[in-house]
Amino acid sequence: MDLKLINILNQYDFNGTIKEIKPITVGHINDTFVVEYDVEGKTEKYLLQWINHNVFKKPIEVMENVVGVTEHIKKKIAETGGDTEREVLTVFKTKTGENYALAEDGGCWRVYNFVDNSYSLDGVRSSDDFKMAALAFGNFQKQLADYPIETLKDTIPNFHNTVSRFNDFKVALEENKSGRKNEALPEIEFVLAREKDCSVLVDMLNGGELPLRVTHNDTKLNNVLFDKTTNKPLCVVDLDTVMPGSSLYDFGDSIRFGANTGAEDEKDLSKISLDLDLFKAYVEGYLESAGDALTENEITYLPFAAKLLTFECGIRFLGDFLNGDVYFKTEYPEHNLVRARTQFKLVSDIEKKFSEMQSIVNQAKSRV
């Protein structure tokens, strides 16, 4: 067994002896391990995780956010008689009372409870799957509706500030570091024609027309744990990007990747569209669990959020293409341009279906 990992685990006061340390290799930014302890013949499991400081520059602030949010949710679950060991992550403290452990190389590590008899999904198999994810993220929003937002650290400033993202794009366009601007003229024109959209939610937040909420900022389906017995959602995981923002950011990003009929880098744009059935399923699940915690504006702007977050993602892909592919990993030279095109095709389809999306929201709202 890795001596470094053992030294980190020795900073915790766990019972028993370490039996096995197994890496989890599925799509994580952070290195994650399942640790098994033998406790008088019984096995107890924990999740040991390194926080990638290349992505999260202030890991201790990240941990303050994670602990604050999970403890708040735990109180809510306890008040309703829920299972606080399965319906929320628990961050274990070290022997000295810290929420993290430091390795000899300065790396920041943490230990979570291992939620047994659970699973996650990498993709939407059906509208039921998508609705279940919506129930989980809606419940996450409702549980944190009264969270003291002023205590939450903004660990990645301007993450979904679309005005800032648009300004970054304009700099990339002006500098044209890759020399590839002429390969993307239709896409550039598409972006410039929608500049006004970028300020809508930012202005509403600044003007108090939208409340500042706890946002997850990575609302992928695989960040929901499901119960293997009931197939119902247990809890939301991967909380490193929890920050202050608008609930509309999380909703819009969920629709962007979950209700798209094609892959994020699909070259055949005829395969890209918004699946209205999936949109309907997500809206219904989201409003069922979060509805009475949301304001009228937060509900009204759900379709716009789907458009804006898709547009923002496309801007980021196109900007990176112009900058020379310095942020997103690419597999071929025009990969980021292909990604941008899929996002913009989805934006166009959302614009065509916008009135239908509004009707779906209004129908779901009437049931809340």
Q: Is residue 246 part of a domain?
A: yes
As a whole number, the mean pLDDT across the chain is 95
Centre a 10 Å sphere on the Cβ of residue 23 and count the other Cβ atoms it contains: 11
3-state secondary structure of 11: coil
Q: What is the pLDDT of residues 318-344, one digit of tens each?
A: 999 999 999 999 999 999 999 999 999
**pLDDT at position 368:** 78
pLDDT band of 10, cuts 50, 70, 90: very high
Boundary (domain end) residue, out of 62, 92, 116: 116
Q: Is residue 71 part of a domain?
A: yes
Mean pLDDT within 353-363: 98
Boundary (domain end) residue, out of 84, 116, 148: 116
Q: Is residue 121 part of a domain?
A: no
Instruction: Report the C-alpha gap between 279 and 214 in whole angstroms.
Output: 23
| 272 and 314 both lie in a single domain | yes
Q: What is the pLDDT of residues 25-41, one digit of tens each?
A: 765 467 899 999 999 99
Global pTM value: 0.93
Instruction: Report the C-alpha gap between 316 and 346 in whole angstroms.
Output: 15
**pLDDT at position 367:** 85
- Residue 48: beta bridge partners? 33, 111
**pLDDT at position 29:** 66
| 246 and 357 both lie in a single domain | yes
Q: Which of 150, 149, 159 is nearest to 57 (CA)?
A: 159
Which residue reads 């990498």 in tokens?
A: 122
Mean pLDDT within 227-255: 96
Q: Is residue 91 part of a domain?
A: yes
Q: Is residue 22 part of a domain?
A: yes
The percentage of residues in the chain with a pLDDT greater than 70, rounded to a whole number, is 99
User: What residue numbers bound the domain in which 71 lies?
Assistant: 3-116
Boundary (domain end) residue, out of 59, 86, 116: 116
Q: What is the DSSP letter of 103?
A: -
Q: Is residue 305 part of a domain?
A: yes
| 171 and 312 both lie in a single domain | yes
| 180 and 324 both lie in a single domain | yes
Q: Are 264 and 341 in contact (CB under 8 A)?
A: no
CATH code of the domain containing 216 = 3.90.1200.10
| 8 and 149 both lie in a single domain | no
**pLDDT at position 123:** 84
Residue 239's alpha-carbon distances to 49, 55, 58, 66, in angstroms, are 13, 14, 14, 6
Q: Is residue 122 part of a domain?
A: no
Q: Count of domains in the chain? A: 2
The percentage of residues in the chain with a pLDDT greater than 90, rounded to a whole number, is 92
| 282 and 313 both lie in a single domain | yes
Q: Which amino acid is at 319?
A: G
| 43 and 173 both lie in a single domain | no
Q: What is the pLDDT of residues 174-212, one digit of tens each?
A: 999 999 999 999 999 999 999 999 999 999 999 999 999
Residue 64 has pLDDT above 60, yes or no: yes
- Residue 119: beta bridge partners? 226
Mean pLDDT within 117-143: 94
**pLDDT at position 26:** 65
| 241 and 177 both lie in a single domain | yes
Instruction: Report the C-alpha gap between 290 and 254 in whole angstroms.
Output: 15
**pLDDT at position 1:** 73
3-state secondary structure of 111: strand
Would you state the structure tokens that stand for residue 219, as one six-digit string? 């609302």
Residue 303 has pLDDT above 70, yes or no: yes
Q: Are 280 and 185 in contact (CB under 8 A)?
A: no
